[in-house]
Amino acid sequence: MILKFSPFECVVASIGELYFYCCMINYQDFSYNGSKITFSKGKDVYVCATQMAKSFNKCPNDWLRTQAAHEYIQAVSDETNICVSELVITRKGGGAIQTTQGTWMHK
């Protein structure tokens, strides 16, 4: 059974476990101050916020917990007509596809 959760990836359910497989075809890595920053491009463009934050010794979850972040993301959603759930996507580790792990933010 395949359930579509977002343009970013599909979730495949098998024997009660969820496996995340990336449906995006195009990943491109860039370097910023010696840190790898990955972008994915398909229907939309996403950047790996985990990698971006790491280059500043930060974690995206720290910012995402703030009221200012919630207000900002909602304002972007209102302005762009993109669902909040598609602006920030968090994928937990594990599995064979390491590229999709982390917090991804819409362009």
pLDDT at 107: 81
Q: Which helix (H) or strand (E) holds 50?
A: helix 49-54
Tokens 């979850």 -> residue: 61
Q: Which two tokens stand for residue 91?
A: 């994928």
Contacts of 85 (CB under 8 A, 6+ apart): 6
pLDDT at 99: 60
Q: Which pLDDT tens digit goes with each residue over 18-77?
A: 333 344 458 888 888 888 888 888 888 898 999 989 888 899 998 899 999 999 999 999
DSSP secondary structure code for residue 14 in this structure: E
